[in-house]
Amino acid sequence: MRRISTRQLAFMAICLTFGLLAKSIVSPLTNTLTDFFRIPGGSAAIGFSLAFLIIGKQLVPLPYAATAMGFVQSLLALGLGMSVYQGAFVLITYTLPGIVIDIVYLFFRNRREPFCFIAGILSCLSGAFASNILVFHLSGLALLLWLLLAALSGAVGGYCACLVSVKLNDIIKKGVLE
């Protein structure tokens, strides 16, 4: 297994923290939408959190980077009481999207746009699906709406991650963090 440098760890920490912060900042806005439809909040905001994991994965392209960031995010969310409804299940619902991002990266290693976009959608869908099975138990149209919002959030988050990645191109391409 490749050793991970302190600089890489620092960037991963920054990305996962920004991810948690982004979710907290965006949630009040997205909750107005989910409240209107009377479905649980969260699925519409998750993409903005996972966008930072996607950026972090490109900055630190280690095989387990996104999984590790997702797992640490889940511990932080649990420790800081950010998981009111999900409780200990956040360990699964936050880590699973990280695993998905790592898997998608295997297939789109050198293609930034498809990676960001597809990883955004699939990771959000996996998180939303896991939350529904473990906690919310939505069904029918409400479940479809919940998943559509997650996919939309993931698509927008993935696109944003792609735009940010372009700005960070030098760091990614030159492998400053390798």
Partner 1 sequence: MKRFTRVILFTIALLIIGVVIVGLQVRHQQTETETAGSITLKSGGQELLIPVSDLDRESFSGETVNGKGEHFNNDYRGVELQTLLSEQGLSPDSIHEVTALAADQYSAVYSGDEIRESGRIYLAVEVNGESIEGIEGDRPGVQVIVFGDPDSRRMVRSVEILEIK
Report the interface residues with partner 1, using CB under 8 A.
36-39, 113-114, 117, 137, 141-142, 144-145, 148-149, 151-152, 155-156, 158-159, 162
59: which 2 tokens? 């900055």
What's the min distance (Å) between Cβ of 1 and partner 1? 33
Residue 46 parent element (H or E): helix 46-59
What's the min distance (Å) between Cβ of 40 and partner 1? 12
Nearest C-alpha neighbor of 31 from the set 43, 19, 20: 43
What's the min distance (Å) between Cβ of 166 and partner 1? 11
Which one, 116 or 177, has the nearer CB to partner 1? 116
Residues near 131 by beta carbon (within 8 Å), at least 6 away in sequence: 40, 42, 43, 86, 89, 93
Compute the radius of gyration of the chain from its Cα atoms. Answer: 15
Which one, 14 or 135, has the nearer CB to partner 1? 135
Which one, 71 or 105, has the nearer CB to partner 1? 105
